Amino acid sequence: MKRLPALFAALLAVGIAADSQADSQGSMAAQTPTAENPRRIILDIDPGIDDAMAVLLATQSPELQIEAITVVSGNVIVDLGAENALKLVELAGRPDIIVAKGAKYPLQRKLITAQSIHGKNGLGDVELPAPSKKLDPRHAVQVIIDIVNANPGEITLVPVGPLTNIALALLQDPTLREKVPEIILMGGSVIGGNASPAAEANIYNDPEAAKIVFNSGIPITMVGLGATSQAKLYRRHLPTLANSGSPIGKFVADISDFYISFSERIGFEGSDLHDPLAVGMAFDKTFAKKLWPMHIDVETKGELTYGETVANRYLLVESVEDVGDHYEITSFPKVEPNAEVPTVVDGDRFVATFVERLSATPRKP
Ligand SMILES: [Ca+2]
């Protein structure tokens, strides 16, 4: 028992350090992209209602320059997701954006789709016109590799589906690890899961891919369930969107009605804006009031915890010495963080921004 005070002292010290790092928003604000100096992103999606919202929030945000939209299987199969992505960029008035189709299946596990949540068509069964735009002829993984290599250090990846495409790009071209400055992803959780008690759905849908991404060495902002549960869209938000006069606002109101209805059927009020919050963090990280540096790995073997993002919050591990019939703790070596996790979010400001931007006139490229 005598080791406990030392352990608590160490954890307390690290906790204080984490707090002071998290509150240093001055440096984050300095990096905040602007319309004049936008963040260049590749948005990787599995649309999906909240993916559709994320695409439209991105096209309506002047602080983001979308270099490509890449599609992965997840909420729906990739063929349907790719068709949805084409429809979405046309709705947004942005047929100039590259759209590419990616991985059909997760790396190892069997695909799980989610039409019960997102509608048979993946877009809340709201119909959009058939797209006239065509897919890029390249595989999405090749598009990611090509764009990052042509712009080293410049392209932030924003994946909001299973991480299959990103993992395949890293496997196919390991030099991307040095060329991608940051990944801002929707996925994971340090407060329990939604696909299983332990795992969040995007990670659960391809844990082996997620493990590759979290161990890539690329700095990650993990917009997980703890963050997105603080950014809820309620029915009271829908009239502003529906009556905006914007085709984007009307569409988002319609798909939100479907999405919120699902939440109500399972006993919740309102819907978490999962994927849009990752896009929000890409243009304004101060939506997070607290960003907690952690070291995160992904469980790929656990009986109860398959797909869990296992977080070392205190950036320490126990080091032990064998003293015969037992081990004794000798020190607490430090562990480097590989991710920042928004744990406190200004949900009201984010949702207000979301509604305002999606109710506005569609932006021109
Ligand atoms: Ca998604």
Domains with residue ranges and CATH for the chain: 37-358 (3.90.245.10)
Find the angle CA(258)-CA(260)-CA(265) to the nearest 5 degrees: 95
Q: Report the pLDDT value the prediction gives residue 209, as an integer from 0 to 100.
A: 98
- The yes-or-no answer on residue 139 being catalytic is no
CA of 317 to the centre of ligand 1 (A): 33
**Residue 140's closest CA among 61, 230, 69, 238?**
69
- Over residues 165-184, mean pLDDT: 98
Question: Which band of pLDDT confidence, cut at 50, 70 and 90, is reported for residue 364?
Answer: confident
How far does the centroid of ligand 1 lie from the alpha carbon of residue 100, in Å?
16
pTM of the predicted protein model: 0.92
The token pair at 150 is: 């042509």
Q: How far apart are CA 48 and CA 194, in angstroms?
A: 16
pLDDT at site 19: 46
Four-point Cα dihedral 209, 281, 144, 252, nearest 10: 100
Q: How far apart are CA 230 and CA 277, in angstroms?
A: 10
Q: What is the pLDDT of residue 365?
A: 79
**How far apart are the CA of 86 and the centre of ligand 1, in A?**
16
Task: Mark out the alpha helices in 73-128 (DSSP H runs).
Answer: 78-91, 115-118
Q: Is 151 helix (H, G, I), strand (E, B) or coil?
A: coil
If you average pLDDT over every residue of the chain, what do you get?
93
How many secondary structure helices (H) and strands (E) does the chain include? 15, 13
Calculate how far, in angstroms, residue 162's C-alpha sits from the geometric centre of ligand 1.
Answer: 7
pLDDT > 90 fraction of the chain, expressed in percent and rounded: 91
Given 237, 274, 295, 326, the catalytic residue? 274
| 251 close to 126: Cβ distance less than 8 angstroms | yes
Residues having C-beta closer than 5 Å to ion ligand 1 = 46, 48, 51, 160-161, 275
Arithmetic mean of pLDDT, 237-252: 98
What is the distance between the alpha carbons of residues 61 and 38, in angstroms, rounded to a whole number?
9
The mean pLDDT of 30-37, rounded to a whole number, is: 86
Quick check: 81 and 111 in contact, CB under 8 A?
Answer: no
Mean pLDDT of 255-282: 97
